[in-house]
Amino acid sequence: MNEQQKISARRVRFNLLDGVIVLLVVLCIVGIVFRYSIMDSLGLGDEMAEYRVKFSVTGIDSTLPNYLGEGNTLYFADGVKAGKLCGISEFSLLNEAAAGSTTLVCRTASVYIDDGNGSLVLASYPSQTKIDAEGAFNCNGTYGDDSRFSIEGEKFVSVGQSVTVYTDTVTLNITITEIVPIN
């Protein structure tokens, strides 16, 4: 074999498969650069921070709080993770005995009802029947440029909104009462 043939034999052959691989690697690098630099400058990548979302529930069975535990993961009805349920010490000054639960501040349920004389009165249910409660969960979220708060950048929620959330054992309809950053 002469020198020219030897050089030909040693030449690196660039084929279609190598081209596809190089293209995929370049796309991955571009994606990473886009995610961590250009997205932020375009305002598309708002930083997530920890927030505490406080909520209330009304008219639930008095035994329901027994099935909730501190640290339970909450999910929205569509399966999106909402956050982790707080213990009462994280959002309330009450202790477990006063609150009636480790995760919810419970009180006897009360409703506005007609007293028969045309007036509305706030009446309470008998004890150990129905309760109203407050709770909270911690989540990662961010406020967008439109001042809307989103959890994990996926789920938009706002104060006053009623949503269905669930843990592994409980399904709850909650009303969001406050969204505060966790320092």
Partner 1 sequence: MQYIKPKKRGHDDGDARSVRINIVDIALIIVLVFLVLVAIEYFTSFSFFGNAGSSQTIEYTVEFDGVSSAMANSIAVGDTALGSVGTQSLGTVSSVKIEPQVKYIYDPASGGIVQRALPADAAGNTPVKLCVTLQVKATYKAGAGYTVNGNRISVGSPVNLSFDGFSGGGSCVSIYGVY
- Does residue number 1 form part of the binding site for partner 1 (CB under 8 A)? yes
- Does residue number 3 form part of the binding site for partner 1 (CB under 8 A)? no
User: Looking at 18-26, 43-51, 93-101, 135-143, which segment touches partner 1 (CB under 8 A)?
Assistant: 18-26
Among residue numbers 56 through 95, which ones bind partner 1 (CB under 8 A)? 60-61, 63-64, 67, 73, 75, 79-81
Q: Any residues with CB less than 8 A from the CB of 108 and at least 6 apart, and which?
A: 124, 125, 126, 127, 129, 130, 131, 132
Tokens standing for residue 126:
């008998």
- Does residue number 162 form part of the binding site for partner 1 (CB under 8 A)? no
In degrees rounded to 5, what are phi and psi of residue 135?
-150, -175
| Number of residues near partner 1 (by CB under 8 A) | 39
Angle at 49 between CA 43 and CA 55, to 5 degrees: 120
Residue 65 CB burial class (10 angstroms; 0-12, 13-18, ≥19): buried
Give contact residues for partner 1 (rule: CB under 8 A): 1, 9, 13, 15-18, 21, 24-25, 28, 60-61, 63-64, 67, 73, 75, 79-81, 111, 113-116, 121, 123-126, 129, 166-172
